């Protein structure tokens, strides 16, 4: 009998070639790597939520169409008339579903780059070609290069992160409008950081028939429940809905989100604290000799240390040895050489980070 060893040759080559999305172990560390809101719910609210969740019927499948919840969400965000919502298991799933619905053999997905890794990964999973168009050196959109790439590659879907992860900046609006005008397919504006950017394309849905706006509850403080939503013309949403697994958003997530939609001022208040902390953190980063920090409209700040990639690797390791976990972005793209990304935490966490960084340079 032959040795029992799985023959992996049926797994697609491009899947075998990549590493699984890495989530590092953060046990015992101050976690400033994943853009989470550092504030928990107040105890009284958490208790009420627990009671609400206790009433949810776990023996039943989720509703086919959570109409009341979607109407409430549409009202809360001011969804323009004639537009519809699609709910996803995080916006990650909606990125995947959008690509999947458009993934004809040979189809292309395009994005300015560096940007959110899932655009690239999801494209490859769905057998699409992914075209990464480099940003300018100051992380702005390279307008001519972007429009030339759209003309050449005719992307089925173009993703624009607004503001961009990991650079933190909002792009020039008129350049995005030029992309909307030139793109032959869908243009998805990913507004994951809306609570910190306070700048949206949602009202523009009425003007651009190929625009979709993607949002998530994750960065607002609910990363653990996994809920994102895609906004757009009913015709687009109807098509993308066809590739959605029927029960993709679970009943506990729906109940928790419904409960918290009634308490948005609480979450908005936390976001306001983080916006103020972002300004303070940026100022303190800029005051450190040997650090270049970039302005951000999100709840994270990208900064560059001296010594290129070696310098970034060294500072990352030293921060970790001092109990702080950030994200090392130096190996992701030449434009990010020497760069680390830190999530804005609580005032105490940010102070601890700055002290650790000052000692690590």
The residues of the shown chain that bind ligand PLP, judged by CB under 6 A, are 35, 90-92, 116, 161, 165, 190, 192, 216, 218, 223, 228
* Alpha-carbon gap, residue 161 to 302, rounded angstroms: 15
Query: Which position has the token pair 């918290």?
Result: 260
* Nearest to ligand PLP of 187, 354 (CB atom): 187
Q: How far is the CB of 322 from ligand PLP (least distance, A)?
A: 26
Q: What 3-state class would DSSP assign to 353?
A: helix
Q: How many CA atoms lie within 13 A of 236 on its CB side?
A: 27
* Alpha-carbon gap, residue 95 to 99, rounded angstroms: 6
Q: How far is the CB of 165 from ligand PLP (least distance, A)?
A: 4
* Nearest to ligand PLP of 122, 354 (CB atom): 122
* Alpha-carbon gap, residue 164 to 113, rounded angstroms: 9
Q: How far is the CB of 268 from ligand PLP (least distance, A)?
A: 18
Query: Which position has the token pair 């169409």?
Result: 65
- Tell me if 193 sits within 8 A of 298, measured CB to CB: yes
Which residue is closest to ligand PLP by CB?
A: 90
* Nearest to ligand PLP of 221, 311 (CB atom): 221
The secondary structure of 66-123 as a DSSP string is -HHHHHHHHHHHTPPTTEEEEEESHHHHHHHHHHHHH--TT-EEEEEES--HHHHHHH
| 3-state helix vs strand vs coil in the chain, percent to 5 | 45, 15, 40
* Nearest to ligand PLP of 161, 175 (CB atom): 161
* Nearest to ligand PLP of 228, 345 (CB atom): 228
* Nearest to ligand PLP of 336, 356 (CB atom): 336
CB-count burial class (<10 Å; 0-12, 13-18, 19+) for 156: buried
Contacts 24+ apart (CB under 8 A), 21-29: 21/117, 21/121, 24/325, 26/325, 28/323, 29/320, 29/323, 29/324, 29/325
* Nearest to ligand PLP of 121, 288 (CB atom): 121
- Tell me if 88 sits within 8 A of 227, measured CB to CB: yes
* Alpha-carbon gap, residue 185 to 131, rounded angstroms: 14
Q: How far is the CB of 286 from ligand PLP (least distance, A)?
A: 23
């Amino acid at each position: 009998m032959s040795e029992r060893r799985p023959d992996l040759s049926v797994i697609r080559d491009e899947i075998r070639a990549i590493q699984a999305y890495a989530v590092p172990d953060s046990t015992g560390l101050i976690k400033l790597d994943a853009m989470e809101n550092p504030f928990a719910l107040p105890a009284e609210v958490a208790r009420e939520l627990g009671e609400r969740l206790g009433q949810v019927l776990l023996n039943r499948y989720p509703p086919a169409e959570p109409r009341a919840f979607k109407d409430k969400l549409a009202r809360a965000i001011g969804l323009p008339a004639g537009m519809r919502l699609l709910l996803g298991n995080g916006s990650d799933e909606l990125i995947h579903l959008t690509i999947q619905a458009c993934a004809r053999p040979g189809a292309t997905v395009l994005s300015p780059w560096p940007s959110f890794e899932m655009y690239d990964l999801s494209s490859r999973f769905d057998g699409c070609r992914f075209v990464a168009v480099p940003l300018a050196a100051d992380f702005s959109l390279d307008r001519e290069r972007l429009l030339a790439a759209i003309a050449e590659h005719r992307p089925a879907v173009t993703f624009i992160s607004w503001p961009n992860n990991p650079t933190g900046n909002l792009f020039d609006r008129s350049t995005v409008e030029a992309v909307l005008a030139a793109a032959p397919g869908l243009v998805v504006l990913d507004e994951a950081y809306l609570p910190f950017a306070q700048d949206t394309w949602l009202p523009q849905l009425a003007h651009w028939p190929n625009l979709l706006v993607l949002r998530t509850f994750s960065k607002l403080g609910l990363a653990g429940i996994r809920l994102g939503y895609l906004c757009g013309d009913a015709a687009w949403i109807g098509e993308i809905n066809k590739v959605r697994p029927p029960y993709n958003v679970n009943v506990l997530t729906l109940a928790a989100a419904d409960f918290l939609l009634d308490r948005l001022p609480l979450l908005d208040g936390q976001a306001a604290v983080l916006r103020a902390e972002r300004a303070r953190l940026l100022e303190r980063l800029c005051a450190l000799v040997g650090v270049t920090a970039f302005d951000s409209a999100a709840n994270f700040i990208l900064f560059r240390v001296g010594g290129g990639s070696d310098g970034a690797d060294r500072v990352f390791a030293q921060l970790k040895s001092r109990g702080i976990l950030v994200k090392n972005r130096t190996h992701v793209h030449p434009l990010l050489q020497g760069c680390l990304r830190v999530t804005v935490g609580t005032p105490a966490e940010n102070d601890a980070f700055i002290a650790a960084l000052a000692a690590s340079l």
